[in-house]
């Protein structure tokens, strides 16, 4: 059962990454960095933020790498990276994180770690990251729909007889 959790977690991260990448391809860089007020985050900030979260929680907290995250910089950015550069950064970070997840010895899931100021198990850390990534993916999708007025087609398989997506 533990291996199923690890595999599914990695698959969900890859799925969310591909949806964010699709959104980034649909929008010009100006919209990727657009915000209505200083208290809002642009899509670019959300991408930097999930990259930082994956690094701190999975690569460092679960995988043991050095934590180099600068969380404040994720939200302070106002431009600087194109949609293609953000997509490449996200793809690389998800690939590194999913490698850590799928290679984790399932017997370690109950192991306690400290990430940020939280004491939790490796299972809880992975679960936190998948849920966190899902929340921000939803925000990116919503903003993309606002800017583009497009049906992004992520659930078109539900209206077809054949169910082409394995992961809901």
Taking 60 as the threshold, does the pLDDT of residue 160 lie above it? Answer: no
pLDDT tier, 64 (very low <50, low <70, confident <90, very high otherwise): very high
What pLDDT, in 10s, does the model give residues 28-45?
999 999 998 888 899 999
> Once rounded to an integer, what is the mean pLDDT over residues 67-93?
95
Confidence of residue 145 (pLDDT cuts 50, 70, 90): very high
Residue 158's pLDDT band (cuts 50, 70, 90): confident
Structural domains of the chain sorted by starting position, each given as residue range(s) with its CATH number in brackets:
2-159 (1.20.120.450)
Q: For residue 151, what pLDDT is reported?
A: 84
The predicted model scores a pTM of: 0.91
Whether the per-residue pLDDT at 167 is higher than 90: the answer is no
Q: What secondary structure, in 3-state letters, does the chain show? A: CHHHHHHHHHHHHHHHHHHHHHHHHHCCHHHHCCCCCCCCCCHHHHHHHHHHHHHHHHHHHHCCCCCCCCHHHHHHCCCCCCHHHHHHHHHHHHHHHHHHHHHCCHHHCCCEEEECCEEEEHHHHHHHHHHHHHHHHHHHHHHHHHHHCCCCCCCHHHHCCCCCCCCC
Average pLDDT value for residue range 132-148: 96
pLDDT digits (tens, 9 = 90+) for 112-129: 999 999 999 999 999 999
Task: Tell me the two tokens of residue 133.
Answer: 């990534």
- The pLDDT of residue 36: 87
* Tokens 């600087």 -> residue: 80
Band of residue 161 on the pLDDT scale cut at 50, 70, 90:
low
Confirm if 80 and 30 have CB atoms less than 8 A apart.
no
Distance CA 155, CA 66 (A): 38
State pLDDT tens for residues 82-123. 999 999 999 999 999 999 999 999 999 999 999 999 999 999
């Amino acid at each position: 059962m533990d291996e199923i959790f690890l595999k599914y977690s990695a698959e969900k991260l890859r799925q969310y990454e591909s949806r964010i990448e699709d959104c980034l391809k649909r929008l010009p860089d100006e919209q990727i960095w657009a915000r209505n007020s200083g208290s809002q985050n642009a899509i670019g900030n959300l991408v930097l933020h999930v990259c930082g979260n994956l690094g701190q929680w999975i690569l460092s907290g679960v995988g043991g790498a050095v934590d180099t995250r600068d969380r404040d910089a994720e939200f302070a950015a106002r431009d600087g990276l194109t949609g293609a550069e953000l997509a490449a950064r996200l793809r690389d970070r998800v690939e590194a994180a999913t490698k850590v997840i799928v290679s984790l010895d399932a017997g370690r899931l109950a192991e306690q770690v400290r990430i940020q100021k939280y004491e939790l198990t490796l299972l809880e850390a992975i679960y936190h990251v998948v849920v966190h990534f899902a929340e921000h993916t939803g925000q990116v999708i919503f903003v993309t729909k606002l800017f583009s007025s497009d049906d992004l087609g992520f659930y078109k398989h539900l209206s077809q007889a054949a169910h082409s997506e394995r992961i809901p």
